C-alpha cells in the first residue's frame, strides 16, 4: 500500500507533459460532474416549483359574498326535498352555474325505498374536461336537498344551502386553476336527510349510492380522499370535527387553518357525526366532515338566511382551498 501511495503522488506531482494532461483531464472531469449535479438540482427546483405554482393561491380568490348569493338563490326556491319541483329547479341552477364555470356535469339518478315509499334521487357529479385518466383525485362534496317536513316550512339556509352555495363558488375558483380542477371531483348529494330517523336504510341516500357505485367498480384507489361540507354558514362559526375524522386530514385542515389565522374556528365535536362522509370512509376513501354542529336552528323553521354570514363561508372556503392547493397532492 505505501508503494501505491508513492506512485499516486509521483503521477499527480510529475511535471511531465503527460502528467499535466492527466491532471487537467481529472480536473475537467471533476468540474463536469459538479456542473451536471448543479444542472440537475436547478432542473428539479424549477419544475418542482413550477408544478406547485400552477395551483396558484385559490384561497385568496374565494368570495364569501359570492357563496352567500348562491345560497340566497337556492333558499328563494323554498323547501327542496328530494323529487320535488323545487329541488329540480335547484339542480338546474347548479348545472347552469357549473357549466358556466367550465365543468362537465353528470347526473347520477337512482330510486330507493324510503319510509314514504320509492323516491327518485339525483346526485350531481362535476368533472373538469380532459381530466387525466391516471393519477389520484380528490372529492369535494355537499348535500343539496332539505329535510322533508309536513308541519313547518323548512328552507335549510344553513343545512343544505350554505355548503351547496359555497361549493358553487369553489367550482368557480378552482376552475381558474385547470391543473388543480383536473384533480378534483365536485359531488352534490341528494337525499342526505332521513325521512324519520337515520338508520342503515333511512338517510344518506345519495352518498350511500355514490359510494356503492365506487365499491362495485373497485375504483376507491382513484381518490386520495375527500372533504364534505355541511352547515358551514353560521354567523357564530365553530367547525366541529367528528372524533372519528381521518387523522392525517384532520392535522392538515388544522395546519391550513393555522396558515390563514382561522384555527380558532376549528375544534372537535364530543362524539362521532353520521353524515355523507360516513359511506365514503366505509369504502376506504378517507373523508372529513367540515360541519358546525353547534347550530340551535338545526331542523327548525328558523334555519333562515339571517343566521348566515359571508365571513363564515369565506373562512371554510379559504381553508379548504388552501388545503387543496398546498397539501392535498403533496
For every residue of 41-91, DSSP letters joined together read HHHHHHHHHHHHHTT--GGGT--HHHHHHHHHHHHTT----TTSHHHHHHH
Please, which pLDDT band fits residue 43 given cuts at 50, 70 and 90?
A: very low
For residues 186 and 125, is the Cβ–Cβ distance under 8 A? yes
Q: The CATH number of the domain where 168 resides is what?
A: 3.40.630.10
3-state class of 224 per DSSP?
strand
Kindly state whether residues 36 and 64 are assigned to the same domain. no
* Helices and strands (H, E) in the chain, number of each type: 10, 8
3-state class of 237 per DSSP?
coil
C-alpha to C-alpha distances, 238 to 201, 233, 290, nearest whole angstrom: 30, 10, 10
Among 31, 49, 67, the domain-final residue is 49
Question: In 3D, which of 188, 178, 104, 98 has the Cα closest to residue 139?
Answer: 188
β-pairing, 266-268 with 239-241? parallel
How close are the terminal C-alpha atoms of the chain, in Å?
51
Kindly state whether residues 205 and 315 are assigned to the same domain. yes
Return mean pLDDT, the chain: 90
Kindly state whether residues 32 and 125 are assigned to the same domain. no
Kindly state whether residues 106 and 172 are assigned to the same domain. yes
Strand ranges (DSSP E) for the chain?
Answer: 104-114, 117-127, 137-143, 184-189, 223-230, 239-241, 266-268, 287-291
Kindly state whether residues 43 and 116 are assigned to the same domain. no
Grid cell locating 57:
393561491
Can you give the pLDDT at residue 135?
80
Kindly state whether residues 186 and 300 are assigned to the same domain. yes
The label of the residue with cell 320535488 reads 84
Kindly state whether residues 24 and 130 are assigned to the same domain. no
d(CA 271, CA 298): 17
Crossing angle for the helix pair 64-75 and 310-326, to the nearest 10 degrees? 120
DSSP state of 273: -
pTM for this entry: 0.84
pLDDT at 46 over 90: no
Any idea of the CA torsion for 210, 115, 303, 233, to the nearest 10 degrees? -10
Can you give the pLDDT at residue 5?
47
Among 49, 68, 86, the domain-final residue is 49
d(CA 136, CA 307): 37
3-state class of 204 per DSSP?
coil
CA diameter of the chain: 105
3-state class of 210 per DSSP?
helix
For residues 321 and 59, is the Cβ–Cβ distance under 8 A? yes
Kindly state whether residues 41 and 131 are assigned to the same domain. no
Can you give the pLDDT at residue 51?
42
* Residue-range definition of the domain harbouring residue 35: 2-49
Kindly state whether residues 196 and 304 are assigned to the same domain. yes
Number of domains forming the structure of the chain: 2
Kindly state whether residues 40 and 183 are assigned to the same domain. no
Can you give the pLDDT at residue 134?
73
Name the helix (H) or strand (E) containing 219: none
Kindly state whether residues 179 and 294 are assigned to the same domain. yes
Kindly state whether residues 19 and 125 are assigned to the same domain. no
Can you give the pLDDT at residue 38?
64
pLDDT per position as a tens digit, 166-178: 999 999 999 999 9
pLDDT per position as a tens digit, 201-258: 999 999 999 999 999 999 999 999 999 999 999 999 999 999 999 999 999 999 999 9
pLDDT per position as a tens digit, 258-278: 999 999 999 999 999 999 999
The label of the residue with cell 362534496 reads 141
Grid cell locating 14:
510529475
Amino acid at each position: 500500500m505505501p508503494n501505491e501511495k508513492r506512485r499516486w503522488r509521483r503521477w499527480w506531482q510529475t511535471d511531465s507533459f503527460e502528467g499535466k494532461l492527466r491532471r487537467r483531464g481529472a480536473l475537467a472531469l471533476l468540474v463536469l460532474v459538479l456542473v451536471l449535479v448543479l444542472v440537475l438540482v436547478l432542473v428539479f427546483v424549477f419544475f418542482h416549483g413550477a408544478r406547485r405554482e400552477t395551483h396558484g393561491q385559490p384561497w385568496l380568490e374565494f368570495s364569501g359574498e359570492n357563496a352567500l348569493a348562491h345560497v340566497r338563490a337556492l333558499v328563494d326556491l323554498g323547501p327542496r326535498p328530494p323529487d320535488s319541483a323545487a329541488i329540480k329547479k335547484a339542480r338546474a341552477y347548479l348545472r347552469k352555474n357549473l357549466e358556466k364555470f367550465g365543468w362537465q356535469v353528470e347526473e347520477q339518478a337512482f330510486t330507493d325505498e324510503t319510509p314514504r315509499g320509492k323516491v327518485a334521487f339525483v346526485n350531481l357529479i362535476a368533472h373538469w374536461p380532459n381530466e387525466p385518466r391516471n393519477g389520484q383525485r380528490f372529492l369535494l362534496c355537499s348535500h343539496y336537498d332539505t329535510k322533508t317536513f309536513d308541519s313547518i316550512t323548512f328552507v335549510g339556509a344553513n343545512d343544505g344551502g350554505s355548503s351547496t352555495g359555497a361549493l358553487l363558488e369553489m367550482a368557480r375558483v378552482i376552475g381558474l386553476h385547470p391543473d388543480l380542477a383536473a384533480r378534483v371531483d365536485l359531488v352534490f348529494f341528494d337525499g342526505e336527510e332521513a325521512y324519520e330517523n337515520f338508520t342503515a336504510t333511512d338517510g344518506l341516500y345519495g352518498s350511500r349510492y355514490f359510494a356503492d357505485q365506487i365499491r362495485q367498480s373497485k375504483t376507491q384507489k382513484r381518490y386520495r380522499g375527500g372533504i364534505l361540507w355541511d352547515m358551514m354558514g353560521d354567523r357564530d362559526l365553530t367547525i366541529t370535527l367528528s372524533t372519528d375524522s381521518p387523522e392525517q386530514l384532520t392535522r392538515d385542515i388544522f395546519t391550513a387553518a393555522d396558515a390563514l389565522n382561522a384555527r380558532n374556528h376549528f375544534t372537535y365535536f364530543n362524539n362521532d357525526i353520521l353524515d355523507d362522509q360516513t359511506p365514503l370512509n366505509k369504502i376506504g376513501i378517507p373523508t372529513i366532515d367540515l360541519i358546525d354542529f353547534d347550530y340551535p336552528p338545526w331542523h327548525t323553521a328558523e334555519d333562515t338566511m339571517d343566521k348566515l354570514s359571508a365571513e363564515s363561508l369565506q373562512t371554510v372556503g379559504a381553508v379548504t382551498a388552501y388545503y387543496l392547493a398546498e397539501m392535498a397532492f403533496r
